[in-house]
Amino acid sequence: MSRNAESTAFRSALEVIRAVEPRVADAIGAELADQRESLKLIASENYASPATLLTMGNWFSDKYAEGTVGRRFYAGCQNVDTVEALAAEHAKELFGASHAYVQPHSGIDANLVAFWAVLADRVESPALKKAQVRQVNDLTEADWFALRRELGNQRMLGMSLDAGGHLTHGFRPNISGKMFDQRSYGTDPATGLIDYDRVAEAAREFKPLILVAGYSAYPRKVNFRIMREIADSVGATFMVDMAHFAGLVAGKVFTGDFDPVPHAHIVTTTTHKSLRGPRGGMVLCGPELADQVDRGCPMVLGGPLPHVMAAKAVALAEARRPDFADYAQRIVDNAQALAEGLLRRGTTLVTGGTDNHLVLLDVSGHGLTGRQAEQALLDSGIVTNRNAVPQDRNGAWYTSGIRIGTPALTTRGLGTAEMDATAELIHTVLSQTTPGANADGTPSKAKYVLDPAVADSVAKQATDLLAGFPLYPTVTLD
Ligand code: DSN
């Protein structure tokens, strides 16, 4: 393929869009410029390949395809069948799973599909059995009432939010918190690590239907073999949400006890984080849950997005190439270099380091809230997000933490030397920022003071650092 093909494709697409709504074309161009200029350290973001991006812009978007491969509720789905089957095949090969369901539109959707599958598989209920055999129209009011009571009365044990768990693991702002009676396991206050004995104790007391492992802000590996033993000891279904670290599983950085697929009954993921695919979700499971998982649409999902399933097939094919394993290892090497650089400069890190793709800074030692630190870093060209730390005294809105991750910068090609330079830039901003005050003189958790000259200087250094690692180097828009 000629080096020009990607530029030509994106330029042509923008020309076509510009003829209809030039402001959209401009915004797309501006987004590329912004992404090129900023030091992106958001742990859940990445840069999908041009092939993956281009696969999403076509007439697959026009097609309805409810149902599953070969069994659709619409005619004319033969080409959708081709791409959905390909995506599932790549996923199964890549992760060593016996079944893959690639229709979920997001991680929340993937988790809902998994919850439904487990409930349908595990909950004994005549009303539910009717629903399962597609007799939903025959359900009486009393059936619906019984169904709501029986399904909504189940127990889920997952990681607490401030220890790094995710909203969709039974917390109130998400429907899972209404579907399940939730209890959480935290981390050891001294080490910040999961204490498996405490998880086992909580499981014995609470007897969950589902034990969930997985996180969005825990900077360490999880031993899924031990978690499965805990689940088995109380008869729970063991579910892993690997959205954040799917790329590290795909790239064989997480193997043995740390690979969730051989240990969990069901695994969910997004496809756009460390896995570097299109924005979407996916469910992997064994044969026992496959039929229920495949009912995800229309049970909890709207019509599948064939253009995104096609892009999943492309991205998963990329992840099966040998160089993806090298990429996954570099993500972790970079996170560890970044952690070491920050520790050396005196920043406090939750758990004292990392063995995955993310680092969680506790910025309270700098006298700042996460919100103040996030904004000061953003002013300085460094994009991060604030995040709670264990037992956070500032709550989930202001927080005391900053979460950073390396999948995106690693895709750009930055290595361990640049991570040390990045640590220096972060340290400069955090040590030069002070908390601000409200108009009445009381301390503010949002306002901060940072000399604009310092912010400008850091932003310039960030741009210089990135100049050696162009984003989408094969794409020029002018
Ligand atoms: N929003 C994702 C994250 O940033 O971790 C998880 O849903």
Taken in order 187, 190, 191, 197, the sign of the CA dihedral is negative
Q: Which atom of ligand 1 is nearest to the CA of 167?
A: 7
Catalytic residue among 64, 130, 320, 416: 64
Instruction: Say which residue, 2 or 333, is predicted with more confidence.
Output: 333
Phi-psi region of 442 (alpha: psi -120 to 50; beta: other; left: phi over 0): beta
Of the pLDDT bands very low, low, confident and very high (cuts 50, 70, 90), residue 185 is very high
Asked if residue 216 has its Cβ within 6 Å of ligand 1, the reply is yes
Does 6 qualify as catalytic in the annotation?
no
Say which residue the tokens 């539109």 belong to. Answer: 105
Residue 421: which of 462, 451, 378 has the closest Cα?
A: 462
Chain center to CA of 202: 26
> Residue 141: what pLDDT?
81
Q: How much distance in Å is there from the Cα of 215 to the middle of ligand 1? A: 9
Contacts 24+ apart (CB under 8 A), 361-364: 361/401, 361/402, 361/403, 361/404, 361/426, 361/430, 362/389, 362/400, 362/401, 363/400, 363/401, 363/402, 363/430, 364/389, 364/393, 364/394, 364/400
Which residue would you say has higher pLDDT here, 300 or 426? 426
* Ligand 1 center–CA 402 separation, angstroms: 13
The pLDDT of 159-180, averaged and rounded, is 91
Residues 191, 151: Cα–Cα separation, whole Å:
37
Residue ID of nearest Cα to ligand 1 atom 4:
44
What is 38-85 written as a DSSP string? SEE--TT-----HHHHHHTSSGGGG----EETTEESSS--HHHHHHHH
For ligand 1, say whether the CB of 107 is within 6 Å of any of its atoms.
Answer: yes
- Phi and psi dihedrals of 47, rounded to 5? -125, 110
DSSP state of 187: B
Q: Report the pLDDT averaged over residues 264-282.
A: 98
What pLDDT does 120 receive? 87
Q: Which residue among 212, 244, 357, 384 has the greatest number of ligand 1 atoms within 8 angstroms of its CB, and so is best to mutate?
A: 244
Residue pair 147/128 in contact (Cβ under 8 Å)? The answer is: yes
pLDDT at position 148: 72
Which entry of 40, 220, 273, 412 is annotated as an active-site residue? 273
From the candidate CATH numbers 3.90.1150.10, 3.40.50.300, 3.40.50.720, 3.40.640.10, the one assigned to the domain spanning 322-467 = 3.90.1150.10
Intrachain domains 59-319 and 322-467 with the same fold: no
Q: 371-386 in b/e burial notation, b at 16+ Cβ within 10 A?
A: bbbbbbbbbbbbbbbb
2: pLDDT strictly greater than 80: no
Sequence spans of domains, the chain:
59-319, 322-467
Judged against a pLDDT cut of 70, whether residue 229 lies above it is answered with yes
> What pLDDT is recorded for position 209?
95
> Which residues share a beta bridge with 397?
none
273 is catalytic: yes
Query: What's the CA-to-centroid distance between 9 and ligand 1, angstroms?
Result: 30
pLDDT digits (tens, 9 = 90+) for 128-166: 776 665 566 677 888 777 777 777 678 999 999 999 999
CA of 380 to the centre of ligand 1 (A): 23
Catalytic site residue from 279, 320, 345, 447? 279
From 273, 374, 384, 404, give the residue whose CB has the most ligand 1 atoms within 8 Å, as the site to mutate.
Answer: 273
Which pairing describes strands 39-40 and 382-383: parallel, antiparallel, or unpaired? parallel
Given this model, what pLDDT does residue 136 score? 63
Select from 359, 300, 363, 297 the least CA-distant residue to 332. Answer: 359
Ligand 1 near 44 CB (within 6 A)? yes
Architecture of domain 59-319: 3-Layer(aba) Sandwich (3.40)
| pLDDT over threshold 70, residue 3 | no
Predicted local distance difference test score (pLDDT) of residue 478: 83
Res 96: pLDDT: 98
Look up tokens 């690979």; give the residue: 259
Give the residue whose CA is nearest to atom 6 of ligand 1. Answer: 216
The pTM (predicted TM-score) of the whole model is: 0.95
Question: Is 241 considered catalytic here?
Answer: yes
What is the mean pLDDT of the segment spanning 240-267?
98
Lowest mean pLDDT among 125-134, 193-202, 405-414: 125-134
Q: Is 270 a catalytic residue?
A: yes
Closest-CA residue, ligand 1 atom 2, reads 44
Predicted pLDDT at 124: 75
